[in-house]
């Protein structure tokens, strides 16, 4: 089948167009030879079928991650089919600078200028005929958001696929460099390849035999000596070409006045913009939490005396409804299946595992939904800008505030959100450090233990506040440490700020669904495995033995009770299990009695709470981490780091408190 590739820079509306063309018929496929996934869809127009492939967005030919790398390789190599180069109508200058570089390499292409509605509003008129003549390819103007010009685009695709339109490769005049380019062309045999080689493109240079490489280096040196730096010269001529092109093809009829956008941006981009950003993030997260579990709004309501509403909120939150369903399901199976190992595995292993996946799913869905809203409306880049200075201290960009904030809700979507970051390095560092951010589930466990194991209110609140401060500090420091350890470059902010948009719900929902779907398929496999493993350990009676071994490791800080060891073991699978396994081994759900029976000293109890706060949060987070970075060695390494840091923290707090 004929292939049509969709190529664009970020913010061009690529997802909107792909979604519009593909509708429901799209699927995810692995790019041959890569671990990168791309969306594909079979599309039918006037009885002809072709495969539309959505290539990852690319910012620059100096790529930062494996996804951009894939797109760059595609541009530089020969390819079949038609390439659609999608241009962002909001920033034509930069878009054309990108597009002409693609057109230098690919002739079977169509230029698609998106956001025609925006151009119209701004009074910008683009002369498509002039562009067509100058660039030698078809040019179409569309609005993917409003579905304008789509039929015409599909017609042109068929025209190019069936060879009805003559195409030719773009030739840009490089002025003073032309004689050098000609020389390089004689060496490598192709003009575009020659230009790329002079630019020092490693992907091209590495394919050349040694003597040709040397000859190219010779030419580059000569340009450097006689004219100027060759890379900068080439960029300059390209910009000159774009400048002339737009001068002749684009007319601004009326000048748009400064709008509300400028006013908002004044606030966001000021020194105090971070206050607005934190307010937006905080209220968004509060909303997401409350829809999911009812917490913390239920606490707030009940503290004001509205206990019944608070209970209702909790019961009819999404997580409440789902866990109710799984409770009923196990009860049903309990009744109708005869007792056997299979029944035990089914109820306590498999259903528990699926239940765990299911209870996470609403939160994933909600978080993804809010994130796509923030992303699509143009708020994300603004929040990133306002937070950048703070995160830059630790070698991160302001965008890291998103995974960090979401980690406070739950580490599973937090780890998954690391993929919005620009570089592979920052993604890896943030994903690996995510488990150190205290999530909601851990907060509840910590609160329960603090309340029942420590009596002084000052100590109680002091410990919770210090856990949060330490967790933030560790998160930031550990990203820096991982950066040094893996020799990843520090990331710095460099992004285009799109105009504000009213988000398209159709697109937002589509992105939400696609991202959340990948959670079910990727995270659930490992999570189910963990659940079965936990069941097996308990079934074979190994859990108590391992608990005892763990307890020995904790005897230096006075926690030698094997029942604590067992609770910590279960806490690895899910933090809530710390409380329930304590209840099971002590034969009572009354934490007061458990606390009395254990009679831990203040340093011992505090050390225990610290360890619980900082060691591996849950099996689901480990699974999400693996799904995201696809490297079990790194995941293992991160677990060991978490255990080590948690133990060291517990030990030091024990020593400090003991010295009083």
Site residues (vs other proteins, CB under 8 A)? 59-62, 90-94, 97-98, 199-200, 231-232, 235-236, 239, 265-266, 269-271, 273-274, 381, 384-390, 392, 397-398, 492-497
CA distance 10 to 64: 13
Q: What is the dihedral of CA 264, 265, 266, 270, to 10 degrees?
A: 120
Please state the closest distance from residue 494 (CB atom) to other proteins, in A.
6
Tell me the two tokens of residue 394.
């630790």
- Nearest-approach distance from CB 89 to other proteins, in angstroms: 9
Closest to other proteins by CB, 239 or 509: 239
Q: What is the DSSP string of 127-183?
A: -HHHHHHHHSSEEEE-BTTTTBSHHHHHHHHHHHHTT-S---------GGGHHHHHH
Q: Which residue lies nearer to other proteins by CB, 124 or 625?
A: 124
Closest CB to other proteins among 494 and 656? Answer: 494
Check if the beta carbon of residue 501 is closer than 8 Å to that of residue 382.
no
CB closer to other proteins, 19 vs 277: 277
**CB of residue 196 vs other proteins: minimum separation in angstroms?**
12
Beta strands in 68-144 (DSSP E): 82-88, 109-114, 124-126, 138-141
Find out whether 414 and 403 touch, Cβ atoms under 8 Å.
Answer: yes
Instruction: Quote the least distance from Cβ 60 to other proteins, whole Å.
Output: 4
Buried b (16+ CB within 10 A) or exposed e, 513-542: ebbbebbeebbbebbbebbbebbebbeeee
Query: Which CB atom, from 240 or from 522, has the smaller least distance to other proteins?
Result: 240
Phi, then psi, of 112 in degrees rounded to 5: -120, 110
Nearer to other proteins, 2 or 217 (CB): 217
Distance in Å, CB of 93 to other proteins, minimum: 4
Picking from 179, 134, 132, 174, the residue whose alpha carbon sits closest to that of residue 156 is: 132
Could you give the CA distance from residue 222 to residue 225 in angstroms, rounded to a whole number?
5
Question: Is residue 297 within 8 Å of residue 286, measured between CB atoms?
Answer: yes
Q: Which C-beta is closer to other proteins: that of 237 or that of 586? A: 237
Q: Which two tokens stand for residue 346?
A: 């089914």
- The string of DSSP codes covering 294-351 is -TTHHHHHHHTT-HHHHHHHHHTSHHHHHHHHHHHHHHHHHHHS-SSHHHHIIIIIII
Minimal distance in Å, beta carbon 493 to other proteins?
A: 4
Instruction: Output 117 or 344, the one with its CB closest to other proteins.
Output: 117
Residue 272: CB minimum distance to other proteins, A: 8
Instruction: Indicate the residue among 171 and 389 with the shorter CB distance to other proteins.
Output: 389
Closest distance between other proteins and the C-beta of residue 308, in Å?
A: 45
Q: Report, in Å, the least distance between residue 66 CB and other proteins.
A: 16
CA distances from 205 to 179, 214, 216, 227, 384 (A): 20, 10, 9, 22, 36
């Amino acid at each position: 089948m004929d292939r049509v590739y969709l190529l664009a820079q970020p913010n061009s509306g690529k997802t909107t167009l792909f979604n519009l063309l593909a509708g429901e018929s799209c699927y995810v496929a692995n790019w041959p030879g890569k671990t990168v996934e791309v969306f594909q869809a079979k599309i039918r127009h006037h009885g002809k079928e072709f495969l539309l492939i959505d290539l990852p967005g690319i910012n620059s030919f100096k790529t930062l991650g494996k996804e951009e790398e894939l797109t760059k390789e595609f541009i530089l190599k020969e390819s079949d089919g038609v390439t659609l180069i999608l241009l962002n109508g909001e920033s034509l200058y930069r878009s054309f600078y990108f597009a002409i570089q693609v057109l230098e390499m690919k002739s079977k292409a169509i230029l698609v200028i998106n956001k025609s509605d925006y151009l119209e509003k701004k009074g910008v008129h683009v002369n498509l005929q002039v562009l067509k003549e100058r660039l030698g390819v078809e040019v179409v103007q569309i609005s993917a958001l409003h579905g304008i010009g789509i039929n015409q685009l599909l017609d042109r695709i068929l025209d190019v696929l069936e060879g009805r339109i003559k195409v030719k490769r773009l030739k840009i005049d490089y002025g003073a460099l032309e004689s050098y380019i000609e020389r390089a062309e004689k060496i490598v045999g192709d003009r575009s390849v020659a230009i790329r080689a002079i630019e020092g493109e490693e992907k091209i240079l590495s394919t050349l035999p040694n003597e040709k490489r040397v000859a190219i280096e010779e030419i580059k040196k000569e340009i450097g000596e006689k004219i100027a730096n060759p890379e900068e010269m080439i960029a300059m001529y390209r910009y000159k070409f774009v400048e002339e092109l737009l001068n002749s093809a684009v007319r601004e009829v009326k000048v748009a006045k400064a709008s509300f956008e400028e006013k908002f941006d004044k606030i966001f981009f000021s020194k105090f913009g971070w206050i607005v950003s934190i307010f937006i993030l905080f209220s968004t997260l509060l909303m997401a939490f409350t829809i999911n579990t009812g917490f913390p709004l239920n606490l707030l309501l009940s503290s004001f005396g509205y206990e019944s509403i608070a209970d209702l909120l909790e019961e009819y939150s999404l997580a409440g409804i789902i866990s109710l369903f799984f409770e009923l399901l196990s009860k049903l199976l309990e009744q109708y299946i005869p007792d056997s190992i299979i029944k035990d595995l089914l109820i306590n292993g498999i259903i528990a595992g699926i239940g765990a996946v299911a209870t996470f799913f609403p939160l994933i869905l909600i978080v993804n939904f809010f994130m796509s809203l923030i992303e699509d409306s143009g708020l994300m880049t603004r929040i990133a800008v306002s937070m950048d200075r703070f995160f830059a201290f630790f070698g991160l960009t302001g965008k890291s505030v998103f995974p960090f904030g979401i980690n406070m809700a739950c580490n599973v979507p937090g780890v998954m959100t690391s993929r919005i970051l620009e570089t592979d390095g920052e993604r890896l560092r943030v994903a690996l450090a995510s488990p150190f951010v205290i999530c909601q589930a851990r907060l509840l466990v910590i609160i329960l233990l603090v309340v029942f194991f420590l009596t002084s209110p000052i100590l109680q609140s002091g410990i919770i506040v210090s856990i949060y401060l330490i967790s933030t500090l560790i998160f930031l420091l550990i990203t820096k440490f991982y950066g040094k350890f893996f020799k990843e470059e520090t990331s710095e902010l460099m992004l285009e700020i799109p105009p504000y948009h009213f988000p398209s719900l159709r697109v937002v929902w589509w992105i939400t669904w696609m991202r959340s779907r990948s959670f079910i398929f990727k995270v659930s496999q490992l999570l189910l495995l963990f659940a079965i493993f936990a069941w097996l350990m308990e079934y074979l009676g190994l859990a108590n033995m391992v608990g005892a071994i763990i307890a020995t490791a904790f005897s230096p800080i006075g926690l030698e009770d094997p029942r604590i060891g067992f609770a910590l073991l279960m806490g690895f699978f899910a933090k809530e299990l710390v409380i329930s396994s304590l209840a099971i081994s002590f034969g009572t759900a009354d934490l007061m009695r458990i606390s009395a029976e254990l009679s831990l000293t203040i340093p011992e109890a505090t050390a225990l709470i610290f360890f619980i706060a900082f060691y591996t949060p849950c099996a689901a987070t480990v699974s999400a981490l693996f799904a995201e970075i696809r490297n079990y060695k790194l995941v293992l390494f991160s677990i060991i780091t978490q255990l080590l840091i948690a133990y060291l923290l517990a030990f030091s707090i024990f020593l400090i408190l003991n010295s009083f």
